[in-house]
A = this chain, B = another copy of it.
Amino acid sequence: MKAERPLILITNDDGIGSRGIAHLTRIAVTLGDVVVVAPDSAQSGKSSAISVNTPLFINEHQPLECARMMSANGTPVDCVKLAMFAVLDRRPDLILSGINHGSNAAVNNIYSGTMGAAMEGCLLGIPSIGYSLLDHSPGADFDPLTPFIKEITAKVLAEGLPEGICLNVNFPTRCTPKGIKVVRAAKGRWTEEYATYATPHGTPFYWLTGKFHNDEPDNLETDEYWLKQQYGTIVPIRPDQTATDMIIRVRDIFSEI
Question: Does A4 sit at the interface, judged by CB under 8 A?
Answer: no
Q: Mark A220-250, 1 if CB is under 8 A from B, else 0.
A: 0000000000000011111111111011011
Decide yes or no: A50 and B119 within 8 Å by CB, A182-B247, A241-B237 being known contacts.
Answer: no
Decide yes or no: A57 and B205 within 8 Å by CB, A184-B244, A193-B85, A237-B243 being known contacts.
Answer: yes
User: Chain B: which residue is nearest A81 at the CB level?
Assistant: B193
| Residue pair B123, A179 in contact (C-beta under 8 Å) | no
Question: Does A185 sit at the interface, judged by CB under 8 A?
Answer: yes
| Residue pair B86, A56 in contact (C-beta under 8 Å) | no
Chain B min CB distance to A177 (Å)? 10
| Set B82, B187, B205, B243: member contacting A206, Cβ < 8 A | B82
**Contact residues of A between 146 and 195, Cβ < 8 Å to B:** 148, 151-152, 155-156, 159, 161-162, 164-165, 167, 179-180, 182-185, 187, 189, 193-194
| Residue pair A49, B47 in contact (C-beta under 8 Å) | yes
| Residue pair B243, A81 in contact (C-beta under 8 Å) | no
Instruction: Please count how many residues in chain A sit with their CB below 8 Å of the partner chain's CB atoms.
Output: 79
26 A-B pairs within 8 Å (CB atoms) are namely: A44-B53, A45-B50, A47-B116, A48-B48, A48-B110, A50-B111, A50-B208, A51-B208, A55-B206, A56-B194, A57-B203, A57-B204, A84-B193, A85-B206, A86-B204, A107-B239, A110-B123, A110-B239, A151-B257, A155-B257, A162-B249, A187-B240, A234-B250, A236-B246, A237-B242, A238-B243
* Interface positions of A (Cβ within 8 A of B): 42, 44-53, 55-58, 75, 77-78, 81-82, 84-86, 107, 109-111, 116, 119, 123-124, 148, 151-152, 155-156, 159, 161-162, 164-165, 167, 179-180, 182-185, 187, 189, 193-194, 196-197, 203-208, 234-244, 246-247, 249-251, 253-254, 257
